[in-house]
């Protein structure tokens, strides 16, 4: 009798979303993770890089190297992948508005390494629609942005046939409150908008292969059964769209190919060790069903609600994947859920809901035309989700139930997170200055002129972008050309001035707002602002949404404002309270500047409240500087925050 091992499927790609401080430090992290068994790279870029600013731009202050790695020119990209052969690596770059530029830098480095560019494998996320809806790193208006997405796709069709030119990203839609049906519909509508535009840029015979190169990046939340069914619904709906809308006959080009990061939104600051179980359960939703299994998985670390994970924390999440793939027998079997009536019924219900939402979007003219509608729906859905947590209808362990817990030994002496040295920013700026001085200025000017001509004429911008990368242009210069040609865009906030129908239970707060407004002599005015480049606007939107429903006069202009613009608005609108939301770690320098400007503008008496992912020691420093209240993710009771704002606006409180 022979004991032969059963055949096993090849595991998915193991990735860790990583990058911080500098290209050199991120390179060391990548090489260490690869040595530990990671099989692909997932690059996190800092916010200036994502939004098209060089590290020394006014809006980049405090943001450099915080949520990812700064890449301002070819030298940075060269350092980022030093010693990593790109023709043997599968690299995912989470980049959208500047995706053509970062891909150009990647191509230039690959050529310097002597790689066969046609062999490069990887993905640029390149999904601007979800940026307008949820993440906020867009630059240009929707139509020219869509053209840039399809420029990348058409270029890769010829030069990088193994590259995924777009990752339709529903991940942030769920983070912004999307229901499963909305997540399905909004993502699929985005893919349709891209493919409809791409049809005119590639030969008809090559179009099916390009449909096969479109990939997706999804979110897996804690509702395990629903998430598993959502992924099966995604695969079936995508197959349906590819056949009926585009006539794709080859099954391999209709395959729903996706990567996943499980839900970071559901990670809790309270009892953070519980997040390990959440991450594991969410991973199972995208791996157990073979017919809807992710092609690549990246897991957050248990402490991401606290701050930047340490290398050990990332290793722990990687080991979770490896144990499932190699120690269990999961990959030895076919699909475990085929024929299950419960699963089948839930999948059909999700598909029906998604089809109805898709029909609504089609009637509006598709995803690009329906951006305002989708944004408003997300804000409403998120308000419902948060309301259920606030009332206890949705139980979150350690947050609204079973709050008593032992101190976590995992936090250690460093607070359980890694901090970025503030000196990193000046170091990065110094190297950027040196790069500018050393390059051939005339060659850069000529390359940027060619890029401007291509963009103005509606030609594919990729050849000129690659040439600009090789000439030594910077991220800010590339994006500056796009801004000059296409203009900038301010996306919808999703928060209308009219109250919603969600005022039940708010009567005591509304009465308090009325009483304070009478004392003030006019309606209590609350200005909500997002300084810097952080585009995670969900929290700010929900605060504004609830404050409006509580009867306050709301001033919320959306994301990406300078401290000067926020203070100017506070003066103009005579704000009684100012609230800032910052989740990127740049709170200390940005809030210090806002406080200085408020004092100079005669607003030193106006209370300033701050919300974000803020460590305890930073919160203490902010309070010492004069901030009235600091809120972190553990402060989920919005009604309590509303009463705090009312109390701060009380004339006697302001005078005190």
Query: Could you confirm whether 246 is annotated as catalytic?
Result: no
- The percentage of the chain sitting over the pLDDT mark of 70, rounded to a whole number, equals 98
Supply the mean pLDDT for the chain. 94
Catalytic choice (54, 56, 450, 534): 534
Point out the catalytic residue in the list 25, 73, 375, 536.
536
- Catalytic residue among 17, 53, 258, 556, which? 17
Q: Which of 53, 171, 258, 631 is catalytic?
A: 171
Tens digits of per-residue pLDDT, 587-631?
Answer: 999 999 999 999 999 999 999 999 998 988 999 999 999 999 999
Q: Report the distance separating Cα 448 and Cα 460, nearest Å.
A: 14
Mean pLDDT across 383-405: 93
pLDDT at 2: 53
Check pLDDT > 70 for residue 4.
Answer: no
Specify the pLDDT at position 3.
Answer: 60
Q: How far is CA 382 from the centre of its chain?
A: 16
Predicted confidence (pLDDT) at residue 167 exceeds the cutoff of 50? yes
Alpha helices per DSSP H over 160-257: 171-175, 180-198, 207-213, 224-244
495: pLDDT strictly greater than 70: yes
Identify the active-site residue in 530, 556, 576, 631. 530
Please say if 17 is a catalytic residue.
Answer: yes
Report whether CATH 3.90.550.10 matches the domain 506-649: no
618 flagged as catalytic: no
Other Cβ atoms less than 10 A from the Cβ of 247: the count is: 10
- Is 171 part of the annotated catalytic residue set? yes
CB 131 within 8 A of CB 138: yes
* Residue 157 predicted with pLDDT over 70: yes
Residue-wise pLDDT tens digits, 518-574? 999 999 999 999 999 988 899 999 999 999 999 999 999 999 999 999 999 999 999
Domain boundaries, the chain: 12-80+305-331+409-490, 125-135+142-300+334-391, 506-649
For 100-140, write each residue's pLDDT tens digit.
Answer: 999 999 999 999 999 999 999 999 999 999 999 998 999 99
Given 172, 351, 375, 576, the catalytic residue: 172
Question: Is 587 marked active-site?
Answer: no
Instruction: List helix spans (H) across 258-340.
Output: 275-285, 311-322
CATH 3.30.565.10, applies to 125-135+142-300+334-391: no
Has 159 been annotated as catalytic?
A: no
Q: Could you tell me the pLDDT band of residue 653, with boundaries at 50, 70 and 90?
A: low
Reported as half-sphere exposure (CB side, CA atoms, 13 A), residue 386 has a value of 26
pLDDT tens digits for range 42-62? 999 999 999 999 999 999 998
- pLDDT at 217 (0 to 100): 95
């Amino acid at each position: 009798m022979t004991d032969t091992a059963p055949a096993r499927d090849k595991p998915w790609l193991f990735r860790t979303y990583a990058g911080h401080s500098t290209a050199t430090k991120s390179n060391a992290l990548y090489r260490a993770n690869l040595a530990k068994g990671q099989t692909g790279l997932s690059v996190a870029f800092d916010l200036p890089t994502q939004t098209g600013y060089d590290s020394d731009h006014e809006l980049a202050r405090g943001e450099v190297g915080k949520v990812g790695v700064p890449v301002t020119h070819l030298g940075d990209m060269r350092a980022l992948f030093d010693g990593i052969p790109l023709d043997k690596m599968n690299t995912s770059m989470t980049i959208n508005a500047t995706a053509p530029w970062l891909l150009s830098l990647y191509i230039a480095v690959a050529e310097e390494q002597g790689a066969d560019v046609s062999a490069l494998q990887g993905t640029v996320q390149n999904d601007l629609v979800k940026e307008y809806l949820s993440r906020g790193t867009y630059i240009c208006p929707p139509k020219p942005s869509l053209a840039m997405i399809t420029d990348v796709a058409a270029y890769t069709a010829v030069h990088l046939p193994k590259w995924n030119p777009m990752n339709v990203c529903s991940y942030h839609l769920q983070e912004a409150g999307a229901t499963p049906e909305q997540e399905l519909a909004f993502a699929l509508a985005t893919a349709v908008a891209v493919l409809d535009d791409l049809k005119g840029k590639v030969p008809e015979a090559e179009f099916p292969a390009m449909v096969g190169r479109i990939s997706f990046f999804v979110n897996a939340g804690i509702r395990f059964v629903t998430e598993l069914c959502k992924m099966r619904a995604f695969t079936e709906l995508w197959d349906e769209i590819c056949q009926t809308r585009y006539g794709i006959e080859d099954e391999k080009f209709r395959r729903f190919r996706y990567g996943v990061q499980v839900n970071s939104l559901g990670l809790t600051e309270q009892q953070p060790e519980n997040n390990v179980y959440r991450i594991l359960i969410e991973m199972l939703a995208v791996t157990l069903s073979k017919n809807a299994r992710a092609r690549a998985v990246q897991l957050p670390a248990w402490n991401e609600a606290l701050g930047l994970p340490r290398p050990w924390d990332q290793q722990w999440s990687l080991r979770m994947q490896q144990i499932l793939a190699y120690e269990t027998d999961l990959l030895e079997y076919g699909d475990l859920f085929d024929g299950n009536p419960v699963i089948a019924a839930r999948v059909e219900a999700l598909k029906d809901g998604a089809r109805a939402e898709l029909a609504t979007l089609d009637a509006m003219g598709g995803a690009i035309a329906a951006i305002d509608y989708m944004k408003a729906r997300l804000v409403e859905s998120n308000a419902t989700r948060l309301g259920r947590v606030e009332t206890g209808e949705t139980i979150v362990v350690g947050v609204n139930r079973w709050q008593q817990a032992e101190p976590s030994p995992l936090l250690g002496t460093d607070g359980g997170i890694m901090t970025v040295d503030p000196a990193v920013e000046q170091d990065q700026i110094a190297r950027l200055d040196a790069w500018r001085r050393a390059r051939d200025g005339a060659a850069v000017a000529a390359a940027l002129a060619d890029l401007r001509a291509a963009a103005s004429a509606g030609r594919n911008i990729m050849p000129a972008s690659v040439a600009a990368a090789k000439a030594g242009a910077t991220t800010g210069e590339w994006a500056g050309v796009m801004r000059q040609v296409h203009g900038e865009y301010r996306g919808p906030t999703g928060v209308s001035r009219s109250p919603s129908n969600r005022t039940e239970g708010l009567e005591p707060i509304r009465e308090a707002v009325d009483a304070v407004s009478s004392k003030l002599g006019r309606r209590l005015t609350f200005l909500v602002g997002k300084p810097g480049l952080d585009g995670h606007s969900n929290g700010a939107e929900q605060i504004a949404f609830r404050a409006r429903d509580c009867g306050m006069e709301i001033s919320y202009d959306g994301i990406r404002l300078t401290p000067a613009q926020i203070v100017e608005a506070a003066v103009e609108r005579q704000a009684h309270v100012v609230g800032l939301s910052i989740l990127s770690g740049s709170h200390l320098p940005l809030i210090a500047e806002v406080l200085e400007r408020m004092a100079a503008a005669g607003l030193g008496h106006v209370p300033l409240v701050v919300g974000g992912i803020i460590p305890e020691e930073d919160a203490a420093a902010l309070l010492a500087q004069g901030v009235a209240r600091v809120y972190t993710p553990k402060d989920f009771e919005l009604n309590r925050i509303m009463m705090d704002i009312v109390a701060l606006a009380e004339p006697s409180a302001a005078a005190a």
